[in-house]
Structures are given as structure tokens and as C-alpha cells.
Amino acid sequence: MNPIIKEITAHQINQGLPAFKVGDGVRVHTKVREGDKERIQIFSGVVIARKGHGIHESFTVRRISYGEGVERVFPVNSPNIEKVEIESESENMRARMYYLRTRTGKAAMAVKKKRYEEAVAPSTEAAAAAPAAAPAAS
């Protein structure tokens, strides 16, 4: 990118968002203006794409609402985004998850991170050491 444009847009980049990736379940808090009132509206779903870089970066969130798929594209650096909460993380192997558009039901859920391995890892070391200390029964 041109260094002059990068310098001009540097102060417009939103630094307060957490590091989320494609496949994560997120809750996006957006500002909605109705007349002279302003309120926060939450859109929760799975991030299926991230595009662009710098000031032009955006991400797409998909959810199922009343049996119908709903997608919404958010600019990352928009002043209308109050915050982004990460509900769940996933280990996907793709940069874009457009294949979720054709899936329904439980198959439409993204691949969840295996927290079982994190919880079991310390006990497997103890279990591996215990049989070695015990005498082998023949």
C-alpha cells in the first residue's frame, strides 16, 4: 500500500478488537440509530470469511434464524462496531467457510476446538508413569 495512504488511515484503524479467525463463533455488538435514539444490537454467528487488509478489512458472519441462513458483512474498522466477543474457537483448515451455506442442521456448525485434549493431557502423563512403576503381572 502507498505509504501516504497508510499514514492517513492509520488513526482510523480499530485496535480494540480481539484476534478472531474464520470459523470462530462471535457476538458482534453494533450501534443502531433509530431517530434520535441509539442502542446496541447483537448479531451472533460463525465467521465464514475475512477479506481485505488495513482500513478496508471486513468479515462475514453467518447464523441460522428461524430456519433461514442470514449473513452479514461487517467492516472491521467501522465506528458502528462497539465490540466483538469470541464465543467459541475452532480449528478449521480453510480460509473461507462458504461450504456452510449448503449445510443444514448440526452439519452447519463449524468444527469446534477439541478441549478434551487440553483437559486430558496432564492425566495421561500420570497414567503413563503409574503402570511403569507397578510390577507387571504375568
pLDDT, tens digit, 9 for 90 and up, residues 67-96: 888 999 999 999 999 999 999 888 888 889
CA distance 138 to 132: 14
CATH code (residue 112): 2.30.30.790
Q: Is 136 contained in some domain?
A: no
Q: Residue 137 domain-assigned?
A: no
Mean pLDDT of the chain: 83
The answer as to whether 111 is a domain residue is: yes
Structural domain span for residue 91 = 3-129
Residue 123 lies in a domain: yes
pLDDT tens per residue, range 1-39: 788 988 888 888 888 889 999 999 999 999 999 999 999
Strand blocks (E) in 8-137: 25-34, 37-51, 58-65, 68-75, 81-88
Looking at the domain assignment, is residue 75 inside a domain?
A: yes
Place of cell 443502531: 32
Establish if 124 belongs to a structural domain. Answer: yes
Instruction: With respect to residue 138, please indicate whether it lies within any of the assigned structural domains.
Output: no
Number of domains in the chain: 1
- pTM, entire model: 0.74
In a domain, 134, yes or no: no
How many Å apart are CA 137 and CA 24, to the nearest integer?
48
**pLDDT for res 103:** 83
d(CA 102, CA 64): 12
